[in-house]
Chains A and B, each alone.
Chain A
Amino acid sequence: MSDNLHTTPAPEGVALPGSPGDRKVGRARPGPWSGLGSTQVVYLALLATIVVGWILVAIDGGNLLTLETVVGVQQRSAALGIVAVGQTLAILAGSLDLSVAYLISLSSLVAAEIMEAGSVPGAITAVIAVSALVGLVNGVVITKLKVHAFIATLGVALIIKGVVDHLYDGPAGRVPESFQHLGYDRVGPVPVSALLWAAVAVAAWFLLSRTRYGYRVYAVGGDPDVARLSGVRTDRVVIVTHILCSLCAGIAGLLLASRLGAGAPTVGTDGGYDLESIAAVVLGGTALAGGRGGVAGTVGGVLLLAVLDSVFNQLEVNSFFKDVVRGVVIVAAVAVYARRAGRKRL
């Protein structure tokens, strides 16, 4: 994988134990430099997108910043946002998770089936158990069987896909009214789903920047060998990270089930949550190679994608054109990050 260098320290101001400037070619070391971190760049890009989008929509005769669209942006981004927070943890630890999309579908089905049987707490417990188990399997296959994360999580994704497609042809189960509040209610202009997303993001931020576990994640993602030699149990860190990542996917599955009112075998893949969440993480300035970045950037990246989507919806742009623009935006953003990192190096 080619190098995507961010020599900025973690956006939350985390000191990076054992994080070398660059383990590939001995380039710049992290040091004090005046300028913007990649997180600030993401939020500047978000602001620019909102301004340009607002102008474009205004020319078209609409208004981007109505309550409706602001709520819509939050609604649209909540599920992806939760998955992307989990994906951030996995990527920071130098791994990645391609199984989240199928796990979301599975979680939505598990939730809706058990809720139909009558127990909401039981359903939530079951989803947490199932997703923790999937995360455990991912982590163990990667660390103990030494299978590359790409193949390991792809394999687990296929396993889940097979089971789900074998058991279900279409939507199943039923979510009671009481649980649908999660998907549709809002407090003032803030939907409950967005609050859930915020809670997950804050929890992940806290873990990464205020706990020993977080420091170890950066250490393992930065250089696993150095981390191991410094006494970090790298395998354990990767396994815990994958469990947390899968739990996030499980929560997203619960959210989508509450919104659909049922479980659906294709809800995860239709949303493209696997690749889309990785794209959002990278758009947020986290290095795909691991060890650099953070949750704040990811939240910005997800919001950027959602605002873009919202602008296109208001302008009634063709959905295929949206894909083209999304692809270009993601690649262009990462090219800008790489360029900034490169310029700093000189």
Chain B
Amino acid sequence: MRRALPIFAVLAALLVAIAVANPFFLEPAGFFAFVKRAAPLVILAAGQYFVIVSGEFDLSVGSLVTVEVVVAARLIDGDEAATWPVLALVIVIGLLVGLVNGAVTTLLRVPSFITTLGMMLVLSGAVFLWTGGAPRGALSQAFRVFGRDTLWSTLILLAVGVAAALIMRADFGRTLIATGDNERAAALSGVRVTRARILAFVLSGLAAAVAGILLGGFAGVSAQVGQGLEFSAITAVVLGGVALGGGRGSVVAAMAGALTLEALFTLLNLYGISGALEFTVQGVIIIAAVAAGAVRLPFPLTPRKGDAHVAS
């Protein structure tokens, strides 16, 4: 947890800077508007965390979000009555895609980078093959309320955050970290490594489905709705101090990383660095943040429990 502290300091500093530049941010309306905007990325980061901490990548979440929104729009097509069945279907698609990612990665032993890259191609190809190249239909009001209504999106975000933290405190979370840290040791100590990894991918798929539901309401239906989200989610997780390669980092810090990224965008907008240069600043800050974390690491060697006798 100590490794996660810097991200909270950075997040706090960014939030203060936003509040200074724009006092409206301190009012409930302003603050919750920020929370609503950040919710999808935070949820994606939580899902991506499970996969990354188990030692894998999930590059398919961006296209999965697009698929969820486009499928929902086409099936609902403005019909309020269709909302709930389609919501259920969206969740099922998310779980299923995660299951396939996990099964191909673990059982067929394809590196997850390639598995999820292939899934990304398949998903975006399949959905536009089905709709004929462009999104069609429209979402119902009942569907859009989740992403549009501040209360709903805040509640969903809180629920996901609490659930993710609880999962990582439970046995499953421990086995997941053990798997990512040292697969062989975990397997020898009785962890079902394959099952843990598949479940991590399923959780990521579920997170993408929920994020898709929120984004469909918040941003509306478009072919670009999920574009680049996989990289944003991975960046957020890494900003939170989670090591690519697995075994290190906390899910709360990963979600804080997503909030930080979103706060950064907000701040850049406030200071008028909008449009293209925003990417440049983002790139510099991401590298700087991760480099700062990596370079600092060797110095404050936090004594672990097992090292106590060495220290004393």
Contact = CB atoms under 8 A, between A and B. Distances in A.
Interface stretch (B170-178, B202-210, B289-297): B289-297
Given A2-B106, A155-B284, A279-B114, 5 more contacts: A275-B59, A320-B124, A320-B128, A323-B121, A334-B110
Contact of B278 (A2, A162, A289, A321): A162
A128 to B, nearest CB: 23
Interface string A316-346: 0010111110111011001100110010000
Nearest to B116: A331
A25 B55 CA distance: 15
A229 interface: no
Given A1-B55, A324-B122, A162 B108 contact: no
A127 B110 CA distance: 36
Contacts of A25: 183-184
Interface residues of B, number: 51
Given A2-B110, A145-B287, A154-B286, A326 B279 contact: no
Interface of B: 55-57, 59, 104-106, 108-115, 117-122, 124-126, 128-129, 133, 183-184, 231, 234-235, 238, 244-245, 275-284, 286-287, 290-291, 294-295
B contacts with A: majority SS:
helix
Given A151-B287, A151-B290, A162 B279 contact: yes
A89 B110 CA distance: 21
> For the side of the interface on A, what is the size category?
35 or more
A334 B111 contact: yes
A320 B129 contact: yes
A42 to B, nearest CB: 15
B290 A323 contact: no
Contacts of B234: 150-151, 154
A1 B125 contact: no
B294 to A, nearest CB: 4
Contact of B133 (A3, A320, A328): A320
Interface of A: 1-5, 24-25, 141, 145-148, 150-152, 154-159, 161-166, 275, 278-279, 282, 288-289, 318, 320-324, 326-328, 330-331, 334-335, 338-339, 342
A1 B128 CA distance: 30
A156 B283 contact: yes
A339 B109 CA distance: 8
Contact of B129 (A147, A150, A318): A318
Contact of A150 (B108, B133, B244): B244
Contacts of A5: 109
Contacts of A335: 104, 108-110
Contacts of B118: 279, 327-328, 330-331
A323 B124 contact: yes
